[in-house]
Amino acid sequence: MVSRRTLIGGGSGLLLGGLAIPLLLGPARDNGQDTGDIGPVCTPTGEGLRVQAVARKEWVPALQAAAIVAGIPAEFLAAQIEAESGWNPQAVSPAGARGLTQFMPGTWEHYGRGADPFDPLAAIEAQGRYLHDLQGAVAGVKGEDPRRLVFAAYNAGPGNVLKYAGIPPFRETRSYVAKIFDLAQRIYSADCAGSGPPELRPGAGTWIHPLPQGRLTSGFGPRPCPTGASCNRWTTFHFGLDFSTGRGRTTGRGATVIAPTPLRITLVQELAPGYGSRIMARCLWAPGYIFDFHHFAVGSMKVRPGQDVEAGTPLGIEGNTGNSTAAHLHFQVIKPESNEQHMIHADTIDPTPILVEKGIV
């Protein structure tokens, strides 16, 4: 982790709580991944931190307190500890990083406040203070989930985040951020709220949530391949949003999926390879986005090609068909100028800012 391991030293840098953090500028890289969907990476079951996933019960209060200091949910701090030390308070890296949260000696001198770096409670407290300062260092960067920026800064340095006005295009950094968000959501969140953009829920705006009882279970963009999934180039970049109600674990049938806007149905496919049971439709409101809904339960789709439907019209039942690991809805948004019969991956856009703008917040 280059940023915190070179905090003390020469060169131009960004002052952070009295420390000079080098800008650490590097070459751009492309992760080269393709689209795919493997289903939700967590199941809505409860609220907050999944306490039973933390290695030691006595560390939970420290995690919760550090999360308040950092301004970041405790799920993320737990995920970062797993990524850094595997919950081993005696861990020492080849570079000399020590303890549960893997601080270098120079950085620990500033954030450890005289404590033993191998003291797990002191390490968690220092983690909270350091993440808080990183958050302040990159606060001026807009248009990206601030939590992703913090962990990108942790890995690549805040100077790189500022230079690229977002997550730097380094494979290592993107992989690091994706790993933390995957662990935070899939392992350490009891309610699927640990990862992805802010929770999306039925709002008072101009659109309706396509799965009103669902929770966001996987966001748009790079993600590690979840445990137990068949991993290939189609599983590590998610070209849509997954929502799940947590139902259908045994039956494969969850809640009703509805039209988020007035739609013209253009495709209804039962058990298409990869997609499962699938509906495509064009929004009848400008600018005319194309929507792609995947993984309906078998035989549950209620519309036909060529049909115009109003917002709120039932489309089908959240299911577990196609390349899916649990009952959920995969919701994809495609550029309005795209050819629905010959789409390419570049035609797909992140639905998150659109849903936020349209009142699904």
Catalytic residue positions, numbered = 84
**Quick one: CA torsion of 343, 346, 352, 353, rounded to 10 degrees?**
-110
Please, which contacts does 279-288 make with residues 24 or more away whose CB atoms are closer than 8 Å? 279/303, 279/315, 279/316, 280/340, 281/309, 282/336, 282/340, 283/336, 284/308, 285/206, 285/261, 287/336, 288/336
Query: Which H or E element spans position 150?
Result: helix 146-156
Q: Rounded to an integer, what distance in angstroms lies between the CA atom of residue 361 and that of residue 191?
A: 17
DSSP class per residue in 215-279: EEEE-SEE-PPPTTS--STTSSEE-SEEEE-S--TTTSEEEEEE-SS-EEEEEEEEEETTTEEEE
